[in-house]
């Protein structure tokens, strides 16, 4: 089961009335979508509103999603339209040459522009998250750090990582899980994702 | 917490473990783990977007939304009528194959008998055997011993060639 299939399963569950499944999709894509929309809407508070609105519109439109494209590609189109409509409603002009297409939707990165639009508070929060993750990464044993780097940054499958690290797939699974748990232990208090809060 | 959520988000979970993984994700700590792991991945990729309490506010909005109920798609489970149609097509194909397989040799035999009759007619003409002789001795011909189309073909040809009979 690949990443797209995981999304498809979550969408199917949401289409059957499972709101929690949709929350998992939102938890997964909120940052990616928020960064994307910050290209259109400069004010961070407005970006957050438009991102929320895009997710709600996508939820309402779920019955029309047939899985012909990846869920994020479909969500991306809804988000772009939501941002454009938002700007039109405010009497502002939507960017006409964003240069985005569906292929880019999967790999959107634009750190510089986002930093420009951050408020001091959100910038501090972002810096705290990055610092915490980096510190936790540095404290990891080398084999755990390599495994999670190959997975999260290089996007390798477990099988590919096993070949690169010359170890069984079971060891790769274990290393990635242990790396995540070690970083999560440092990050949870900052994110407020302790067990008393949902996410 | 087991490593199932970690493997699920990487698309590396076996189908057999899905049910247990979904059960884990129904618990608040499962959702928190899923969210935290994704936040780690986004931070490592530089995709962090620092919206404080985004999830909490979104859940409140989502709770106020009418629950979506989409008609189920038949992608994963073929409908019964699809199996019925497939069985019908297979049955027709099998019957056709058997029927044509049986008929084919007969068709070949008819074609060969026509060919043979043509050859025989070509050989008969140069010998210029009288037609009345052939008719008189027709009862001794091997063709009269068998039932079929052979004798009829020969009689018709003789009649046509002679023009008088």
ipTM score: 0.85
**Interface list for A 10-49 with B (CB within 8 A):** 12-17, 19-20, 22-24, 26-28, 30-32, 34-35, 38, 44, 47-48
Q: CB pairs below 8 Å between A and B: how many?
A: 201
Highest mean pLDDT among A35-39, A97-101, A121-125, B51-55: A35-39
Cα–Cα distances in angstroms (integers) from residue A164 to residues A60, A138, A154, in the given order? 44, 21, 12
Q: Is A57 on the interface with B (CB under 8 A)?
A: no
Highest mean pLDDT among A37-51, A113-127, B88-102, B122-136: A37-51
Residue A28 has pLDDT above 80, yes or no: yes
- Angstroms from B72 CA to nearest CA on chain A: 7
pLDDT at A123: 64
Query: Cβ separation of A1 and B15 shorter than 8 Å?
Result: yes
**Interface list for A 89-108 with B (CB within 8 A):** none
pLDDT at A56: 97
Query: Cβ separation of A59 and B33 shorter than 8 Å?
Result: no
- pTM over 0.80? The answer is no
Query: Which one, of A53, A45, A26, lies nearest residue A199 by Cα?
Result: A26
pLDDT at B116: 47
Split at pLDDT 50, 70, 90, the class of B133 is confident
Q: Residue A30's CB: how many other CB atoms inside 10 A? A: 24
The 3-state secondary structure of B84-138 reads: HHHHHHHHHHHHHHHHHHHHHHHHHHHHHHHHHHHHHHHHHHHHCCCHHHHHHCH
pLDDT at B150: 45
Q: Which residues of A touch B22 (CB under 8 A)?
A: 13
**Interface list for A 145-174 with B (CB within 8 A):** 148-149, 151-153, 157-158, 173-174
- Average pLDDT value for residue range B64-78: 70
Write the pLDDT tens digit of every residue in A43-91: 888 999 999 999 999 999 999 998 999 999 999 999 999 999 999 988 8
Task: Please state, in angstroms and rounded to a whole number, the distance separating the CA atoms of residues B114 and B137.
Answer: 22
Query: Which one, of A84, A81, A35, A36, lies nearest residue A58 by Cα?
Result: A81
Split at pLDDT 50, 70, 90, the class of A30 is very high
Q: Is A110 on the interface with B (CB under 8 A)?
A: no
Which of B7, B10, B53 is most worth mutating to test chain A (most A CB atoms within 10 A of its CB)?
Answer: B10
Write the pLDDT tens digit of every residue in B2-53: 799 999 999 999 888 989 999 999 998 999 999 999 999 999 998 867 677 7
Write the residue in B13, B38, B43 that is nearest to A129 by C-beta.
B43
Query: Cβ separation of A34 and B49 shorter than 8 Å?
Result: yes
Q: Residue B14's CB: how many other CB atoms inside 10 A? A: 10
Q: Which residues of B touch A181 (CB under 8 A)?
A: 1
- Average pLDDT value for residue range A90-97: 65
Task: Please state, in angstroms and rounded to a whole number, the distance separating the CA atoms of residues B133 and A102.
Answer: 91
H or E stretch including A197? Answer: none
Task: Please state, in angstroms and rounded to a whole number, the distance separating the CA atoms of residues A69 and A4.
Answer: 9
Query: Cβ separation of B55 and A14 shorter than 8 Å?
Result: no
Give the least confident one: A11-20, B34-43, B95-104, B142-151: B142-151
Write the residue in B22, B47, B61 that is nearest to A52 by C-beta.
B61
Query: Cβ separation of B6 and A38 shorter than 8 Å?
Result: no
């Amino acid at each position: 089961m690949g990443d797209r299939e995981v999304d498809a399963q979550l969408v199917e569950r949401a289409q059957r009335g499972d709101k929690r499944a949709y929350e998992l999709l939102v938890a997964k894509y909120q940052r990616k979508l928020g960064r994307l929309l910050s290209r259109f809407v400069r004010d961070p508070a407005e970006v957050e509103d438009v991102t929320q609105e895009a997710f709600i519109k996508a939820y309402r439109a779920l019955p029309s999603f047939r899985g012909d494209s990846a869920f994020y590609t479909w969500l991306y189109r809804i988000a772009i339209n939501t941002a454009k409509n938002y700007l039109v409603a405010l009497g502002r002009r939507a960017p006409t040459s964003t240069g985005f297409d569906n292929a880019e939707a999967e790999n959107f990165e634009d750190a510089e522009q986002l930093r420009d639009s951050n408020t001091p508070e959100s910038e501090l929060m972002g810096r705290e998250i990055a610092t915490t993750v980096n510190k936790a990464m540095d404290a990891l044993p080398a084999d755990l750090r390599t495994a999670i780097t190959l997975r999260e940054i290089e996007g390798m499958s477990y099988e590919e990582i096993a070949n690169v690290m010359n170890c069984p797939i079971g060891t790769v699974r274990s290393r990635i899980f242990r790396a995540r748990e070690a970083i999560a232990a440092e990050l949870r208090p900052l994110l407020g994702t302790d067990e008393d809060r949902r996410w | 917490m087991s490593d199932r959520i970690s493997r699920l988000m990487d698309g590396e979970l076996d189908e057999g473990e899905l049910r247990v993984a979904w059960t884990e994700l129904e618990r608040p700590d499962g959702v928190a783990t899923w969210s935290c792991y994704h936040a780690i991945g986004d931070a490592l990729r530089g995709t962090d977007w620092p919206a404080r309490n985004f999830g909490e506010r979104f859940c409140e909005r989502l709770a106020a939304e009418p629950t979506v109920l989409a008609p189920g798609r038949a992608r994963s489970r073929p409908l019964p009528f699809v199996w019925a149609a497939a069985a019908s097509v297979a049955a027709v194909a099998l019957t056709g194959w058997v029927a044509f397989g049986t008929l084919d040799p007969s068709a070949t035999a008819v074609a060969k008998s026509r060919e043979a009759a043509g050859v025989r007619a070509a050989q008969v003409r140069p010998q210029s055997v009288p037609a009345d002789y052939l008719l008189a001795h027709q009862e001794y011909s091997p063709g009269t011993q068998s039932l079929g189309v052979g004798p009829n073909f020969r009689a018709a040809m003789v009649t046509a060639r002679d023009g008088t009979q």
